[in-house]
A and B are shown apart, each in its own frame.
Chain A
């Protein structure tokens, strides 16, 4: 584990900690693969006579399917996909895998006086289900999930990030977001919130550096270590 000055600076004080969910907190689709969910959503679309464009045929990400549907101005179809995805996510959290050191980060952040919000492109219901099951819910002040059937409002749209900042009564500049995707980085930058890129795959390190993340880490443990003042080793 590494600590660096930029990270310590970003995490100093009692400024709120905003966490993306899938990645920094857990792998939501660890036991129920995202690709299967994407397939189910495609089948659902076909059942309703929607012709799927070639570019969408291959994506393993169900959120891509939802995004695409959102651009088609068929609100009832968007709602259908949204409902199916919410249900799949609720199902998926039960077989999700906790991210190493996520609990350590959440407990340490709360102990050091930081309010915590989860800002996710997954549904708030699934996020809450997970946090409750893992006994983390009491530490989380606010959960901002995906806006219902309005995928244009997902990150990289800064709206959900600003929503969390507002919920915590904070200013964007005093918060920090931890995310594992470019959508988190560009969304945070648009919101004026400093961003820590969690590169859970090696190739993301350079991508996040190129995207000018304020700090890049490869383990959530780096954040936990930076947050701990305790030295009883």
Chain B
């Protein structure tokens, strides 16, 4: 869009995140294998950064006049992160699992072993709609969208990064 190669009339982004303000199953403190406020605070900072990044980019493109109509909505729900899923224009889905890894991180200068979620460098599976209604890709994209909408319109609530 920046380079002018894509010129959409409308960009509407919906981001569904896990609520880091309530106890979570993951990430966890390794010693106890359960929720820890310090571990959750770290997850919250990472989540906030990611969400703000998306908001800033869309807002900037909009401010530059590159998108006539741009909206971004962020909601949270009370689940623990287990995978990432990108649904593009109801046509394509990229899906990647978050494996759990035990590692030591520093939180405010203090080392802490945690059961973390490995989000970077995991393989993303690509599914796309085809003419074949029975095809795996078609079915997966439809089911992903239905799943997303069902959470978005039920237990998800508004979030300000």
Contact = CB atoms under 8 A, between A and B. Distances in A.
Interface string A200-222: 00000000000000000000010
B157 interface: no
A101 B105 CA distance: 11
B111 A101 contact: yes
Interface residues of A, number: 19
B103 A225 contact: no
A228 interface: yes
Contacts of B109: 1, 225, 233
B104 A108 contact: yes
A137 to B, nearest CB: 13
A111 B107 CA distance: 17
A233 B111 contact: no
Interface in B106-149: 106-113
B110 A221 contact: yes
Nearest to B31: A103
A19 interface: no
**Chain A, interface SS category:** helix
Contact of A104 (B45, B46, B104): B104
A232 B113 CA distance: 13
Range for the number of chain B residues in contact with chain A: 10 to 19
B55 interface: no
Contacts of B110: 1, 221
Nearest to A138: B102
Contact of B103 (A1, A105, A107, A221): A107
A104 B107 contact: no
A26 to B, nearest CB: 12
A111 B30 contact: no
Contacts of A228: 104-106, 111
Interface string B64-104: 00000000000000000000000000000000000000111
B109 to A, nearest CB: 7
B48 interface: no
Interface of A: 1, 98, 101, 103-108, 111, 221, 224-225, 227-228, 230-233
Interface of B: 30-31, 42, 45-46, 102-113
17 contacts: A1-B111, A101-B111, A103-B30, A104-B104, A104-B112, A105-B111, A108-B103, A108-B104, A111-B103, A227-B104, A228-B106, A228-B111, A230-B106, A232-B42, A232-B105, A233-B42, A233-B109
Given A103-B30, A225-B109, A228-B104, 19 more contacts: A1-B111, A98-B31, A103-B31, A104-B104, A104-B111, A104-B113, A105-B104, A107-B30, A107-B102, A108-B113, A111-B103, A225-B111, A230-B104, A231-B106, A232-B42, A232-B105, A233-B45, A233-B107, A233-B109
